[in-house]
Amino acid sequence: MDRETVPTVLDGPKPVDTALPADKAASARAAAERIRGRMQLVIEGAVAIGNDRIEQKSIPVHGNHLTSIESEFQ
């Protein structure tokens, strides 16, 4: 049975010591790629949220503007 080294999800395409059958290796590689893509979207979303919060905090307003924004998420 052919065996192949599969990359880890968090370390990128580096091989690991675990060998899988070739058909399982292809499936694992595809799943790892999907996971990496989703992780990138999560990171981009978190950065965008932070940027929005920073922008809103910098707007000079009378009263407690931040409290009104934060109340939108409760």
Using CA atoms, how far apart are residues 2 and 73, in angstroms rounded to an integer?
A: 52
- Report angle CA 51, 52, 56 to the nearest 5 degrees: 115
Q: What is the pLDDT of residues 34-64, one digit of tens each?
A: 999 999 999 999 999 999 888 877 777 666 6
Query: Alpha helix locations (H) across 1-74?
Result: 22-58, 65-71
C-beta of residue 20 within 8 angstroms of C-beta of residue 28:
yes
Query: What's the CA gap between 21 and 58, in Å, rounded?
Result: 55
The length of the chain, given as a count of residues: 74
| pTM of the predicted model as reported, rounded to 2 decimal places | 0.53
Answer with the residue of higher pLDDT: 7 or 55.
55
Name the residue ranges covered by the structural domains of the chain: 3-71
